[in-house]
Structure 1
Amino acid sequence: MKSYSQSVKIYGSNEAIFKALTLRIDKWWGEVNHPITGPETVFRVSFGEAYWGFKVIDFTPNIRITWECIESNQVHAGLKGIKEEWLGTKLHWNILEEDDSVSRVDFLHEGLVPAFNCYDVCSSAWDFFITDSLKSYVEEGIGKPEK
């Protein structure tokens, strides 16, 4: 089964995007217990009682970062059996400079597949957080994180 993927063009530098994906996750996605400072960093993103713990397994500044989900307490009203669906999945962020002012983010959530109970909710959420919130944060300095 094909894993979820998304691409978005962002008016901003690779450096600004990488900073958003490491030091400013709280500005476009969710609450973070601490920033990503390098490879092997372990961090947690949360929305109220729901949270996901990640370990950075690839860290190439301004080009690529990969997070592996090592802890999951996914909660969504009405969905059963999703608590640990993300466990073991990998989130790949690749940043490609298209020209002097535009970069493209190619995102792959490896393991987030249509067979997951949370797939529809999670893919819709990623669509929003990547193409709207992350893009808005990098381009305008104002993201739309979950609070």
Structure 2
Amino acid sequence: MNDNSLTIAFTVDRTPDQAFAAITNVRGWWSGEIDGLTDELGAEFTYRYQDLHRSTQRITELIPGRRVAWHIVDGHLSFVDDTTEWTGTDITFDIVPTGDGTEVRFTHVGLAPDYECFERCSSAWGFYIATSLRSLINDGSGQPNPKEEDAS
């Protein structure tokens, strides 16, 4: 992690193409309501989780087996004073073949430690990336939160 970004990396025993397919299947690993295409260059998709988080991501890079990047066009976080902390930030997934699998390196560029949301956001990203996405790549089943109507 550098001073202006959050980075989470892990290695899986899968191919770069399998990692890429899982990353672009956003509904398979990230909770909440997702509207729009998540696997087409230039497309925008919206993410909403209850009344806590709403954001619009534009897919700015889509290189099969190598890289996925999103630009946060608009964001609203209801649990912090500056509700637009995510607006203008970027999210990247770098996919690198290794000797025994594939490294996935997630970076939320612009999510700085001095942001009010940093602790909560980095904790949530830690779960969605290192646990849910990793599980989707490894086992074909992510661990997004249950939908509100499914939660007990």
The residue that corresponds to 1:48 in the other structure is 50
Tell me if structure 2 keeps the 8 A contact 1:67–1:91.
yes
Per-residue CA deviation, residues 20-39 of structure 1 (Å, 9 max, x unaligned), is 222x2111112321332322
In 2, the alpha carbon distance for the partners of 1:88 and 1:123 equals 17
In 1, the alpha carbon distance for the partners of 2:97 and 2:82 equals 36
In 1, the alpha carbon distance for the partners of 2:18 and 2:37 equals 15
Question: Runs of 4 or more off by more than 6 Å in structure 1?
Answer: none
The residue that corresponds to 1:87 in the other structure is 87
In 1, the alpha carbon distance for the partners of 2:82 and 2:124 equals 15
Instruction: Please show how residues 102-141 of structure 1 align to structure 2 within 5 Å.
Output: 102-141=101-140
* Structure 2 gaps, min length 5: 148-152
Tell me if structure 1 keeps the 8 A contact 2:91–2:106.
yes
The residue that corresponds to 1:96 in the other structure is 96
Indicate the RMSD between aligned Cα atoms, in angstroms.
1.5
Q: Which amino acid aligns with 2:74?
A: E
TM-score by length of 2: 0.86
Return 111-120 or 33-42, whichever deviates more. Answer: 33-42
In 2, the alpha carbon distance for the partners of 1:118 and 1:17 equals 28
Instruction: Please show how residues 9-88 of structure 1 align to structure 2 within 5 Å.
Output: 9-22=11-24, 24-30=25-31, 31-49=33-51, 50-76=53-79, 80-88=80-88
Give the C-alpha shift of residue 82 in structure 1. 4.2
In 1, the alpha carbon distance for the partners of 2:116 and 2:68 equals 26
In 2, the alpha carbon distance for the partners of 1:75 and 1:17 equals 32
Aligned length: 142
In 1, the alpha carbon distance for the partners of 2:50 and 2:14 equals 31
In 2, the alpha carbon distance for the partners of 1:37 and 1:144 equals 20
TM-score by length of 1: 0.88
Q: Which amino acid aligns with 2:11?
A: K
Give the C-alpha shift of residue 8 in structure 1. 0.8
In 2, the alpha carbon distance for the partners of 1:35 and 1:11 equals 27
